[in-house]
Chains A and B, each alone.
Chain A
Amino acid sequence: MSFEELPHTADVKIRARARTLNELFSEAFLALMQVMYGTDRKAKVKREILIDAADPESLLCDFLSEVLFISEVDSMVFSGATISIDGSHLSAVLEGESFDPARHAGGTEVKGISYSGLSITWDANGYILDILFDV
């Protein structure tokens, strides 16, 4: 399981790898939080998210968009997620803490999760995700 930022002139392009789809979504989620709030994020409280969507790409976009929404309106910074995907249904338990300007203000706001360039593929080592965050 890992993610890395790939060169992209305008936005933030992430490539993630994982053995399972659940872990792949978790990596995308961690990448999103790292871009926005940096690496100093603690697990103090839990939040649950439920999403339904027609295909894995939509499920991922909707999930990450919901994370953006909750993070902004509830001033939450998340550090981890336990994700379970069953067909078109996703349930996630997020762990995080309240936004702390001293530790979390150094990142970049993500405006949206783009479908452009979004791909979920797999090879012998597992799943590969490319995804673009608009910043």
Chain B
Amino acid sequence: MIDGVLRTGENEWEVPVGYVPGMRVPGRFYLSESLGNTLEQGAVQQLANVATLPGIIKNSLAMPDIHWGYGFPIGGVAAFSREGGIVSPGGVGFDINCGVRLLTTPLAEKDVAGRRDLIDTLYRTVPTGVGAKSAHSLSPQAVDSMMIKGARWAVDAGYGVYRDLERCEESGFMKQADIRAVSAKAKQRGVPQGGTLGSGNHFLEVQVVREIYDPAAAAAFGISAGQVCVMIHCGSRGLGHQTCTDHLKILEGATKKYKITLPDRQLACAPITSPEGQAYFGAMAASANYAWANRQMIMHATRNVLAKMFSLEYDDMALVYDVAHNVAKMEEHTVEGKRETVCVHRKGATRAFGPGSIDLPGDLTSIGQPVIIPGSMGTSSYILKGTQTAMDKTFGSTCHGSGRVMSRTQAKKKMSGKEVAAKLLKEGIIVKAPSDNVIADESPEVYKPSDEVVQVVHDVGISRLVARLAPIGVIKG
């Protein structure tokens, strides 16, 4: 383990106050011994940097997919008091409400295995990769409505059914959205990109449920062994990227105005209650809503492809859940025995609310929130459920993925995209991407093993395993 980090329990580590100057609370992260050698000093430094921010409560936290990012580490979670606490784009990232959703189908593996035509059709239908433009012609007014109403805008416009909204974190929209705080530039970028996947680690995967660990929870989530599902991973596109860029600049000025000392310019922030903090929060919420509408549109396109190709009823393809993993939220948590509304930042981390949470749909209240953890192209994705332990330890948060361990430069040196695609095809996984380059960048070996990451959160108890899904068809942006 990295010097200066203390072991405080099984899979639990502390970064003590003093690791970097100005820390107000200790850092805490969750990681197994075997994943310990993947930890970068830069990520620990970033975890410690977050602990210097005003109003931070209890700990600067990181999940086992912790790695070196910008501002917060990836996998970072921190909650701030409404009075005296801050909000920071560095705790959310450029891709506001990057997130993931899981769609079920009544199909079995034998129905879709080896069906390259399915992957080709999905690839043609969902605009993917750099420079891809929306298949929908959205007006600026429609983009405004997306930002105000989120997934509800999409369902109102015919891209889904109202039950989908119950199956989204926040019902698919944050009510604090303030489109006046979103720049004309950001709105302009939003117009041609509704329903597009983007690039990098974003994907659309056809998967098969391979294992069920918790039959009661799986049944409540609508998942069964052998079932074909579709996982969609993307975010708020250029609109969100521009919002982050714009407000970083505004908050840089605010940092000076409110005399906040920062160890990293990317942590530019302002008091939550300040005009600058409120403007960022409103613009961030509007961008998050755009992302929910975007994923809803992509899911609608996917359902239409499946319905046509396999003669399915649209309503037979239910959404399990949609989670955000780059977002800041005002949430109620227990702090020193009292219920308090705090600003929780999750930067590459997933909400994992436990049983009894009023934010869950009625039929899931006794189970806990569905948590969706995407794997990489060749490795499994997992469904977990939120727990009371997460409420107690991590402000109701868990990991968001497997976390990269290899840079893109190393990945390209190690293997070509063609080799990776051929290897995956032998394993029964069809991969489609705009270029071989993208496939090499995102090959399974560049990520931590997803099974080890979810095992840590399961063992720590901040979410519990429900099911494992394996990919059979992958579209990479």
Residues of A within 8 A of B (CB): 5-13, 36-38, 57-58, 62, 65, 68-69, 72-73, 75, 99, 101, 104-109, 111-118, 132, 134-135
A12 and B248: CB pair below 8 A? no
> Which of chain B's residues have a CB closer than 8 A to the CB of A5?
408-409
Q: A104-B131, A134-B93 are in contact. Are A115 and B438 (CB under 8 A)?
A: no
A69 and B242: CB pair below 8 A? yes
B438 and A108: CB pair below 8 A? yes
CA distance A108 to B74 in the complex (A): 19
Choose from B95, B199, B241 the contact partner of A108 (Cβ within 8 Å). Answer: B199
CA distance A99 to B40 in the complex (A): 37
Q: Give the nearest-CB partner of A113 in chain B.
A: B245
B131 and A101: CB pair below 8 A? yes
> Which of chain B's residues have a CB closer than 8 A to the CB of A7?
407, 409-410
Choose from B69, B90, B434, B438 the contact partner of A10 (Cβ within 8 Å). Answer: B69
A102 smallest CB distance to B (angstroms): 11
CA distance A135 to B46 in the complex (A): 19
> Which of chain A's residues have a CB closer than 8 A to the CB of B238?
72-73
Choose from A69, A72, A73, A106 the contact partner of B438 (Cβ within 8 Å). Answer: A106
B42 smallest CB distance to A (angstroms): 8
Interface residues of B in 177-225 (CB under 8 A from A): 185, 188-189, 192, 198-200
The residue in B242, B408, B434 that gathers the most chain A C-beta atoms within 10 A of its C-beta is B408
A68 and B264: CB pair below 8 A? no
The residue in A13, A36, A111 that gathers the most chain B C-beta atoms within 10 A of its C-beta is A111
CA distance A65 to B244 in the complex (A): 11
Q: A8-B68, A109-B198 are in contact. Are A115 and B264 (CB under 8 A)?
A: yes
> Which of chain B's residues have a CB closer than 8 A to the CB of A10?
67-69, 74, 404
> Which of chain A's residues have a CB closer than 8 A to the CB of B408?
5, 8, 12, 108, 135
Asked whether any CB of chain A lies closer than 8 Å to the CB of B130, the reply is: yes
Q: Give the nearest-CB partner of B198 in chain A.
A: A109
Q: A10-B67, A11-B70, A72-B238 are in contact. Are A116 and B266 (CB under 8 A)?
A: yes
For chain B, give the interface size range: 35 or more
Q: A6-B409, A9-B405, A113-B245 are in contact. Are A108 and B130 (CB under 8 A)?
A: yes
Choose from B131, B200, B241 the contact partner of A105 (Cβ within 8 Å). Answer: B131
CA distance A38 to B441 in the complex (A): 14
Asked whether any CB of chain A lies closer than 8 Å to the CB of B437, the reply is: yes
A109 and B266: CB pair below 8 A? no
B442 smallest CB distance to A (angstroms): 10
Encode contact with A along B89-105: 1 for CB under 8 Å, 0 otherwise: 01001110000000000
Asked whether any CB of chain A lies closer than 8 Å to the CB of B142, the reply is: no
Q: Give the nearest-CB partner of A9 in chain B.
A: B404
> Which of chain A's residues have a CB closer than 8 A to the CB of B441?
108
Residues of B within 8 A of A (CB): 40, 46, 67-71, 74, 90, 93-95, 129-132, 185, 188-189, 192, 198-200, 238, 241-242, 244-245, 248-249, 252, 264-266, 268, 404-410, 434-438, 441, 477
> Which of chain A's residues have a CB closer than 8 A to the CB of B245?
65, 68, 112-113
A122 smallest CB distance to B (angstroms): 20
The residue in A57, A58, A99, A112 that gathers the most chain B C-beta atoms within 10 A of its C-beta is A112
Choose from B68, B264, B266, B477 the contact partner of A9 (Cβ within 8 Å). Answer: B68
A106 and B74: CB pair below 8 A? no
A109 and B199: CB pair below 8 A? yes
B406 and A9: CB pair below 8 A? yes
Choose from B68, B95, B265, B436 the contact partner of A118 (Cβ within 8 Å). Answer: B265
CA distance A61 to B33 in the complex (A): 38
B133 smallest CB distance to A (angstroms): 8
Question: Which 5 interchain pairs have the tightest Cβ spacing?
Answer: A106-B435, A116-B70, A112-B94, A115-B265, A111-B94
Q: A9-B405, A101-B131, A105-B131 are in contact. Are A72 and B189 (CB under 8 A)?
A: yes
B94 smallest CB distance to A (angstroms): 3
Q: Give the nearest-CB partner of B249 in chain A.
A: A62
> Which of chain A's residues have a CB closer than 8 A to the CB of B242?
69
A105 and B434: CB pair below 8 A? yes
CA distance A6 to B20 in the complex (A): 25
A106 and B437: CB pair below 8 A? yes
CA distance A107 to B417 in the complex (A): 13
B248 and A115: CB pair below 8 A? yes
B189 and A69: CB pair below 8 A? yes
A6 smallest CB distance to B (angstroms): 7
A100 smallest CB distance to B (angstroms): 9
Q: A8-B68, A11-B70 are in contact. Are A112 and B409 (CB under 8 A)?
A: no
CA distance A31 to B264 in the complex (A): 23
> Which of chain B's residues have a CB closer than 8 A to the CB of A57?
265
CA distance A132 to B131 in the complex (A): 21
A69 smallest CB distance to B (angstroms): 6
> Which of chain B's residues have a CB closer than 8 A to the CB of A58?
249, 252
> Which of chain B's residues have a CB closer than 8 A to the CB of A6?
409
B434 and A11: CB pair below 8 A? no
Q: A72-B238, A73-B188, A108-B130 are in contact. Are A132 and B200 (CB under 8 A)?
A: no
The residue in A65, A116, A134 that gathers the most chain B C-beta atoms within 10 A of its C-beta is A116
A121 smallest CB distance to B (angstroms): 16
